[in-house]
Amino acid sequence: MQTLGTCLWFDDQAEAAAAFYISVFKNARILGTTRYPEGSPRPSGTVMTVQFELDGHTFTALNGGPQYPFTPAISFMVNCDTQADIDRLWEELGAGGTEVACGWMTDKFGVSWQILPTSLLKMMHDPDLAASQRAFSAMLQMKKLDIARLEQAFRGA
């Protein structure tokens, strides 16, 4: 059993957000839904939480009210092996959201995501500091990350 999970506080979009996320990720499912009981701070019978799983990680989406909006201070990192994976996630997660920079985006619910090529981490940890700096500088010029352009910059080509 997973002992660490993530709770995402929405105003009233928990159910829509969970459905959206499981439509984007291939290995995903809804685990359960709870509803507010009589006498609670929200209308009885409305969705309180939706528990869902994305690629083996459990999340709880909570309809808690408008007090706590999302900020980019917390983001979810998705490591991708191929440009096709980056392109698909960028398009699907970003639909209705905002492209930011350096592989970051905010989805239509205000949740921040980083869509990153796994090869970038290798480039950034390479002992050739000049090559790492070239890849980093190239990344700073991008919104959606482009593996071929990052590798080209890394090689100095």
Quick one: 56 and 23 in the same domain?
Answer: yes
Quick one: 101 and 122 in the same domain?
Answer: yes
User: What CATH code is carried by the domain that includes residue 35?
Assistant: 3.10.180.10
Domain that holds residue 121: 70-157
Quick one: 76 and 89 in the same domain?
Answer: yes
Q: Quickly state the pLDDT bin for 1 (edges 50, 70, 90).
A: low
Quick one: 74 and 148 in the same domain?
Answer: yes
Domain count of the fold of the chain: 2
Quick one: 62 and 91 in the same domain?
Answer: no
Cβ neighbourhood burial of 28 (10 Å; 0-12, 13-18, 19+): middle
What does the pLDDT read at residue 3? 81
The residue ranges of DSSP E strands in the chain, in sequence order, are 6-10, 28-35, 47-54, 57-63, 75-80, 98-99, 104-106, 112-117
* pLDDT tens by residue, 96-151: 999 999 999 999 999 999 999 999 999 999 999 999 999 999 999 999 999 999 99
Quick one: 86 and 151 in the same domain?
Answer: yes
What does the pLDDT read at residue 123? 97
For the whole model, what pTM was predicted? 0.92
* pLDDT tens by residue, 3-36: 889 999 999 999 999 999 999 999 999 999 999 9
Quick one: 85 and 42 in the same domain?
Answer: no
Q: Quickly state the pLDDT bin for 74 (edges 50, 70, 90).
A: very high
- Out of 21, 53, 68, a domain closes at 68
CA distance 74 to 127: 29
Quick one: 150 and 76 in the same domain?
Answer: yes
Cβ neighbourhood burial of 71 (10 Å; 0-12, 13-18, 19+): exposed
